[in-house]
Each structure stands twice: as C-alpha cells, then as structure tokens.
Structure 1
C-alpha cells in the first residue's frame, strides 16, 4: 500500500472522479502543512532515528488526533490513502474512525487479518466506487451479504477473501460481475462448492486464482475451462481433487504456475496437462504419482520449478529428468530414489536448488552433482552421505546453503567444505562434529546461519564463533557448553535467533552475557540451570518475540511479569 497514486492504472478517468469543493483528488498536498496544527516535539513518527518527511509528520499527527476528523473525502486521494494505511498499520482503525473514509476514492483497502472487520465495514468499502482496485478482507467476519456491497466497485482487480468462514457459494455470485478481476483468492473457504464455482466462469480476465484448502470443489474446475488468461492456479491441499479435475485444465494454454500438492492426482491426471507448454512452476508434492509422469512433464519446455517431494518417485523412469534442461529448482525429498536417479540429473546445469532429503543417496551419487556449478542450495539431510562424498562438492563455488544434518559427515568432511566461502547457511549433525571440525570451517566468514544439532562442541570450540561475525541464526543444541563458552557468543551482535537448549550446565550468567544481543527475536535456553532470578537480564532484549525456557527453574508467572514490564513484543513463551 502506501503511495498508491504513483501506480500506473488504466481503468479510471480521473476527471470523472474529481469531486466538488476546494480540493480535487489529484491536487497538491502542500496545503496540508497549513491546514494541520503544528506538530509538537513528542509526536510519534515512523522511522525513528531518521528525519521524517513532511508527509510522515502530517499523517502521524492526524493519526494521533484522529477523533477530531469526521471525513477525509475532501483530501487528495493519495493523502487519504496514506492516512488509511497508517491507521491500519498502527491498529487505530475501528468502526468510528472508518466512517471518515466514506467516499474517499481509495484505491487499496487491505485489512486482511485486521480485527473487527465485518459486514458493516463493507458499506464504507463500497463507497469507494470505481476507484477501488484492490481489496483484502482475509480472516474477517464478512458474510455473503457483506460481499454483495463489492458489486459497486466494478473496477476491482484484486480480491482476497482467505479464511472467510462465512462466505459461501451465494457470496461468489455477488462477485461474478467483477469482470476486471485479475487476481482472486479464497484460501480455506470450506463453504464454497463445485456448484458455486459456476460464478467464476464470468471472470474472463482472471490471471491468478487461489483456492488452496477448499475441500468441496471436486468437479468445479470445469467452470474454469474458458478462463484463457489464467496464468496461476493454486489448489494445494484440496484432497478432493482427482484426475478428472485435471481434464478441464487442458485448454488453459497460458497457465504458467500450477500447484496441486496433496491431492489425489495420479499419472493419468498429469497426462491431461500435456499441452500446457508454458508451465514454469509445477508443485505436485504429496500426489500419488510415479516417475512415469515425467514423459509429460519433460515436455514442459519452460519448466524452472518442480516439486515432487513425498510422491513415491523411484529410480524406474527417472531418465525423464534429463530432459528438464531449464530447471532451476528441483525437490525430490522423501522419495525412493537412489544414486541411480542422480545419473539423470548431471546435465541439469541450470539447477540452483536441489532437495534430496531422506533419499537413499550415498557418496557415489554425489559425483553426478559435480558439474552443477550453479547450485546455491543443497539439501542432503538424513541421507547416507559421508565425508568422502563431499569431495565431489568442492567445486560448487556458488553454494550458499547445505544441510548435512543426520548424515555421517565428520570433522574430516568439513575440511572439504572450507574452500566454499560462498556458504551462508550450514546445518550439521554435530554428533560426529567436534571442536576440530568447527575450527576447519572458520574460513566460512560469510555464514549467517549455523545449526549444530546434537553438538559435541565444548567451550574451546566456541572460540571459532568470533570468525562468524555475520551470524543471524545460531543453534548449538545438546553440547557441553558452559557460561564460559557463551562469552564467545556475546559479541555476535547480528544474531536474531539463538538456540542453546540441552546445554545443561548453563546458568543465569548466560542470560547476563547475552543481554547485549538486542537484535534477538528468538531465544531458547531450555534444559539448563536458568532460574527466575536470571530473567532480569533479558530486559534489554526489546525485540524478543519468542522465549523458550522449558525444564528450567522458571515459572510462567515470572515470564508474564517480565513480558508486561519490559518485553512488549514477546508473543510466544514457554513454559506458559
């Protein structure tokens, strides 16, 4: 939202929207300085620490004095839009203050997940008339009756009604005339059925449609067959969807993104998609398909994203992967593939992300990845990969993230990664990693995320942390670290997440040592010797949102006191 006036919109004639009175919607905002009382020095403004703009000062002043204003309809539209956005962001919009925006010709009303949105608000929404271009009422109590008001806003291009439990097929009928809609989202709308989807057949300009978790739409996709401009369709987690539902999609030749994960679609259903040559993003995670579907998928010449996680893919038929020459993202996690499948990936030289989580991959298979020099993200968690296999990765100079948790990689293997200085994120099963292994990767000075699950790291090993000055996330769980080792963490000022759980020798001194890490948003020191007395050291951590101190000598009552007194952003804590 924000400066909506700067967008290029072609549907409206500004002359038709000008109102009688002193100021038009396209007028200058300079007059606002003279209209408003002078801002006092204690006015709260966004961007503290920086010089606020004149507009920020004015909008902040209006927000603070909002009860003095009964209507903003005389303001230029860009200003009334910014005031509206500010009230939403600061949670100052309510039944009373909303009334001031009647007939303001707002272009964007985004109140998704905002508390208290109901049918009565829709009357103000509809008063924006043809000016309104974007509306988000997700997670609201708006009903079919309230949605009827949107019919007056015939130029709406984007409408989001996600998680609106009170909107049904009848509500869809109310929006069937909004022919300018290009984006429509009804996630988890269980009252919408296949019959109600008839209303979507009139939305001929629809480009993006999201029906994720709509569980009663089996048979309804037939009403989309004439939406020739549709480029993106999301029907993830609609477990009612079967092969028969894929057939109506066969004529949507402009479709570029299709998400069908966790549905009942099989190889036979994928066959209906054969002619959709423009598909670039295909998500079939959790669908009961086999590698045989690659006969069709390999014909998608524009495909760059393919998710086949948890599909039951095996080596049989995996030669079809070799035809996906433009592929950049491939997720094969939790499938029955082995090193034999990786042979057919070696020519996918444009791959940037490869997920092999929990596959039967070993050291020999990694030889086929040697030439994938564009790889940035590699997931090898819970595979049979060991230290020898990492030899084949030593030339992947663009690698930014690698997950080796639940593998048999040892200290010696880490030495083979030491030259990959582009790595930013590293996950290790530290049951095989000692202080020596940590020393071997001190050359990875660009690390922002380091996860040492089941660590065997001692206080001596924590000396290595001083090399990782860019760390934003550090997890050293289940190790032998004491308060002395935490001294090597206290200088990591960029940390936003710190997990020291299962280090049973940590005491209240640890909380004192990390009290200067003011960027922390998440802290976990469970299963330690932390007590209620140590909580006082957390008071400087004003950004903390999550605090976990399970199995410590800490009570929920004391954490609540700390929350009320010093940690206003804390929204999740344990014990609770």
Structure 2
C-alpha cells in the first residue's frame, strides 16, 4: 500500500523479492493467494501465530526472564523446551544479541530461526553450533555469515532443515561443508551466487534431501546432473532462474518421486516440458512466465496426478486446452495473463474438483462464465481485468461454495451485484471499479460472512458506509474512492475485527478520523494517505498497540513525530511512511 496506492496491472513479480519494510502479508500487492508455492522450512515454536488472550504462568515467567535477560549467564541447566521458549521470545521481540546469545550455549536447542534477524554473523555461529546433535533446524537467511561460519555447523550432524537465503558472503568453496550433513531433508539457498553447476556437487551426498530451494540462483544450469542420487527429492523450487533450459529438464526427469516443481520465469520451451511426462507423482507444477505453446499442454495432460497447475503469463491461446480435460485431480488452475477467450473455458467444464481458478486479464466475457456454472466445488475465482459484465454474474449464483471473487477492473455495475447476494460462503470480495457506488454496496448486505472487502476505486460516500455495519466479521477493508469524510468513518469505528484498513485518497479526512479509529485495537495496518491528518492527530493512535504498518504519506505528518509515537506507544510498529 504505497502512498498513492496505485494499482499496477500485469506486472511481473519483483525478482529481487520483498525483504525489507512491512511484512508482505500486510502489503497491498503481497497476497500469495494465487501463488502455487509451499513453505520449505520446518515450523518452529517461535514462528507460531499469536492470539492467546490470557497468558499462562509459564508465558509470564518467560516474559519476565526476557525483560531481565542481562541478569542471566546460562540457561543450560533448564529443560530444553523452556530454553527454547525463552530463545524464541527474545527473537520475536528483537531482544536477542551476541551477548545474550551466549546464555544459550550448550542448551540443546532444536530450532534456531534467525532469518533476516539483524547483526547475525560468524561470531554467532559458535554458540549456535554448540547445540550439537540436538539442533534440527537453522535459518540464517539474510545474515552476514561466511564460509567459516558455515563450517562450524558440520558438528550438528542431525540437522534436518537449513536455510541460507540471500547470504552474500558464502562462496562456492563454502558449500563443501554441507556434504557431511547426511540427515538434511530441507535445504534452501535462494538468490545465492555460491550455488553454481560445479558447487552443486556438494549436494550429491545429501541422500535424504526431500526439499531443495534454489530460487533466483543464476548459475545452476547443468548442475542437476550431479544430483542423480537424490532419489528422495520431492520438492524443487527453481523459480526465476533464467539460466534453466530444456537440458536441465532432461536431468530432472530422473527424479521420479518429485511431487512439486516450480520452474517459473525460466528459459525452458515445450521440449523441456516434454521431459516431465514421466513424473507421474507430480502434484504441483509452476511454469509461470515460460514462453510455451499448445504443444506443452499435450505433455502436461500426461501428469494425471496434478492438483496445482500454474500457466500464468505463458503466451497461451485457446488452442490445445481440450487436452487438460483429463486432469480430474486439478484443484488449482492459474491461466492469468494469457490470450485465452471464452472458447477456452468450454474445456474446463469437466474439471469438477476445481477449487481455485485464476483468469486475471484474460479475454473472458459473460458467455465464458456459463461454462463455470457446473464447478460446484469452486471456492476462489479471479476475474480481474476481464470483459465480464453484470449479466454474466447470474452464472455464478449457484456456486454456493465460493469464498473469494475478484471483480476489479471489470464492467460489473451496481445492478449485477444483486446476483451475488445468495453466496453465503463468500468471505473475500474485490470490487475495485469506479462504477460501483453506494447502491451496489447496499446489494451486498446479506453477505454477512465477508472478512475481506476491497472497494478501492469505488464511489462510496458517507451515506453508503452505513451498509458496512452489516459486515461485523470484516478483517480487511479498503475504501479509497475519495468520497469519505469524518462522518463516514463513524460507521467504520465499530468494526472491531478489522486488522487492515485502507482509507487513502479520501482528502477530506482529518484528525477526527484517527480519534474515531482509536478503538480498533486489532488493527495491524492503517493507511490514511492523502488526507488532512496532522501531527496532532497521532496521539489518537496510542491505543493501537498491535499496529505494525502505518502509512500517512502526503499528510501534514513528519517522520520525527511518528518515530516518537513508535518509541513511546507503538512498540510493534515496524514500517511507517513518511519514514
């Protein structure tokens, strides 16, 4: 959610990734709803979601210990699970440093989750490696660890998961230290210059490897020939590796146990996809951004176990999609940003198990939607930037399992929204369109289960906000059409479940708006850019202790005053603009 909240259509994913600023789950364009990725890393206790309303006695004790961490020399006499909880809490609260880390030497910790944690370098690894054979997972992504630090982990012989994503100080020769970690089942080296075709020889002895993530590694072409012995490999991520060609696909054809393959934005062609026909266990295939033709669909049709298929931005047209009618296990299909029309959708009628369908920016109209009427298990439907009109929505009225619809930048008007009123399962609705007004919002009041409502460009006025009172379960709301004043915000202030609120572009909002919103204590992200808010209004935000992202660009607000608010009242605020 930038200061001007612009909607950029049809952009490729940023290949440098999002590694700074607000966590991507709070970003406007950071949704992973349509991505076909899966987590590669072992979940640690420190990465569990929060939400415990009343702390236990143990949690209170751990919190107190963390407050007084300077008083403790060692936790090695404590039970391992207690030491682990103290460690995780220090990481979560960003209170762990190279001094306090020494207290955890030889504590037999199992999980060290320090991805993107500031200050981590080789000096930390000695204490980390002292956990010895107890250590099961380590994430040091984004750190300044070098080959020397990596060498210290050789003593942790039971390591199962290791992540060194975006670590720029590890070289090709440093990877040889991994060869003795025979118990590794998950290895991640995203955007690493150290991983080359030759250095991948170091992975050849990792015979228990199940998951390998080499996303954005630019020098791995030809390296898979060294990995033929990794017969247990099930998940491989080589997205955004432009160096990958058809010959690499030939090498991958021997990984017959592979279940998930992500090879988007590479240089493979139809010939490369043909090598994958023997991977009969494959359930996920991501080919986004690969320039393919109808011939590849013939090869894909042989992968009968596929549940997830991403063919977004592949330059495909209607021809050949009849071959996919046999993929009866398909649950997720992404065809966004292709040259397909209504004629293509005729061949999707038989995919009765489909739950998610992405047709973003395709030449789909009302006639095409008629072919979706029988997909009764459909939960998520992306129709943004299509030629769908209000009349076509009648074909969706029987899809009672629909939970999410994106109709932004379509030709749908207020009258068409009445056809959605019976979709009682709907939780997410995106109506970013100038032609939607208060009348359209009124037609949606029966959808009381909505948790996400995007009216970014809609012409909603103060009068229309009265209908928002029907949506008590809303967690995310965006109204940025410019028609709101403080009076309209009065109808938003009681939506106490809101965690994300975007009211940018409403130029008449004043400090009174922040006063009205001060009771929304669950808010994690707030954007009121391009308004009349001043430094004086910031005081009303003090009760919002859960706030992590605050955007007030083009307001009479200074970064200095926001920093004062951050230091005195909003300890969880990690991203703010102006900054």
> Above 0.5 in TM-score?
yes
Match status 1:86 vs 2:85: no
Q: Report the equivalent of 2:356.
A: 353
One of 182, 190, 197 as aligned partner of 2:193: 190
Residues 45, 88 of structure 2: 8 Å contact kept: no
Partner of 1:423 in structure 2?
426
Deviation, 1:97, is: 2.6
| Equivalence for 1:456 | 459
Separation of aligned partners in 2, 1:531 and 1:95:
40
* Counterpart for residue 221 of structure 2: 218
Correspondence for 2:286 among 283, 286, 295: 283
Over 3 Å counting, the alpha-carbon distance change for 1:152 and 1:555 in structure 2 is closer
Of 349, 374, 377 in structure 2, the residue corresponding to residue 374 of structure 1 is 377
Which residue of structure 1 lines up, in the alignment, with residue 243 of structure 2? Answer: 240
Q: Which moved more, 1:497-506 or 1:336-345?
A: 497-506
> How far does residue 463 in structure 1 lie from its aligned partner after superposition?
1.1
Summarize the alignment of residues 454-493 of structure 1 with structure 2, pairs less than 5 Å apart.
454-493=457-496
> For 1:303, which of 302, 306, 316 is the aligned residue?
306
1:186-219 deviation per Cα after TM superposition (whole angstroms, max 9, x unaligned): 1111222111001111111111001111111111
Map 1:88-107 onto structure 2 (within 5 A).
Answer: 88-107=91-110
1:411 Cα deviation from its structure 2 partner: 1.2
Decide whether the 8 Å contact of 1:405 with 1:428 is kept in 2. Answer: yes
CA distances 1:147-190 after superposition (whole Å, capped 9, x unpaired) = 11122122211111111111122121111121111111111112
Please give the secondary structure, in 2, of the residue aligned with 1:492. coil
Q: Give the direction of change, closer, same or farther, for the CA distance of 1:460–1:389 in structure 2 (3 Å limit).
A: same
CA contact (8 A) 2:44 2:113 kept: no
Contact 1:291 1:320 (8 Å CA) reproduced: no
1:292 Cα deviation after fit:
1.7
Question: 1:522/1:59 Cα in 2 relative to 1: closer, same or farther (>3 Å)?
Answer: closer
Matched residue, 2:40: none
Q: How does 1:12-411 map to 2 (within 5 A)?
A: 50-53=54-57, 55-411=58-414
Label 1:49 to 1:300 Cα distance change in 2 as closer, same or farther (>3 A).
closer
Higher mean alpha-carbon deviation, 80-89 vs 540-549, is at 80-89
Q: Which runs of 4+ in 1 moved over 6 A?
A: 1-4
2:444 aligned with 1:441: yes
| Structure 1 range deviating more: 492-501 or 357-366 | 492-501
Cα gap change, 1:131 to 1:563, in 2 (>3 Å): closer
Contact 1:232 1:257 in 2 (8 A): yes
TM-score, structure 2 length as denominator? 0.88
Q: Distance in 1 between matches of 2:313 and 2:143?
A: 34
Q: Distance in 1 between matches of 2:164 and 2:45?
A: 23
Q: Distance in 2 between matches of 1:116 and 1:388?
A: 57
- State whether residues 459 and 481 of structure 1, in contact with CA within 8 Å, keep that contact through their aligned partners in structure 2: yes
- How many corresponding residue pairs? 534
For residues 52-88 of structure 1, give each alpha carbon's deviation from its aligned partner in whole angstroms, at most 9, with x where no partner exists: 23x4354344434444443333443333333333333
SS at match of 2:207: coil
Counterpart in 2 of 1:33?
A: none
For structure 2, the 5+ residue unaligned runs are 1-42
Q: 1:66 touches 1:97 (CA, 8 Å); kept in 2?
A: yes
Cα 1:138–1:478 change in 2 (3 A) is same
Q: CA shift at 1:430, angstroms? A: 3.6
- Counterparts of 1:255 and 1:474, CA distance in 2: 40
Q: 1:513 to 1:103 in 2, by over 3 A?
A: closer
Instruction: Return the alpha-carbon distance in structure 2 between the equivalents of residues 64 and 435 of structure 1.
Output: 50
Change (3 A) 1:51 1:472: closer
Q: Are 1:512 and 2:519 matched, yes or no?
A: no
SS for the counterpart of 1:95 is: coil
| Contact 2:175 2:194 (C-alpha < 8 Å) held by counterparts | no
What is the deviation of 1:226? 1.9
Change (3 A) 1:365 1:179: same
**Structure 1 residue 434: deviation in Å?**
1.9
Secondary structure of the equivalent of 2:278?
Answer: coil
Secondary structure at the aligned position of 1:444 is classed as coil
Partners in 1 of 2:114 and 2:552 — Cα distance?
35
Q: Deviations over 1:461-517 (max 9, x none)?
A: 111011111111111112422222221111111111111222222222222222221
| Cα distance, 1:535–1:155 mapped onto 2, change above 3 Å | closer
Cα deviation for residue 351 of structure 1 reads: 0.5
Name the CA distance, whole Å, in 2 between partners of 1:320 and 1:446. Answer: 38
The whole-number CA distance in structure 2 between the counterparts of 1:570 and 1:184 is 32
Distance 1:430 1:111, change over 3 A: closer
1:19 — aligned with what?
A: none
User: Following the alignment from structure 1 to structure 2, what is the Cα–Cα distance between the partners of residues 518 and 431?
Assistant: 31
* Distance in 2, Cα, partners of 1:559 & 1:86: 26
CA contact (8 A) 1:3 1:78 kept: no
Larger C-alpha radius of gyration, 1 or 2? 1
Judged with a 3 Å threshold, the aligned counterparts in structure 2 of structure 1 residues 369 and 488 are, in CA distance, closer, same or farther, namely: same
**What residue is the counterpart of 2:20 in the other structure?**
none
Taking the aligned partners of 1:530 and 1:79, their CA distance within structure 2 comes to 46
In the TM superposition, what is the alpha-carbon distance from 1:142 to its structure 2 partner? Answer: 1.2
Compute the displacement of 1:244 (Å): 1.1
Say whether 1:496 aligns with 2:506.
no
Between the two structures, name the one with larger relative contact order (CA 8 Å, sep ≥ 6): 2
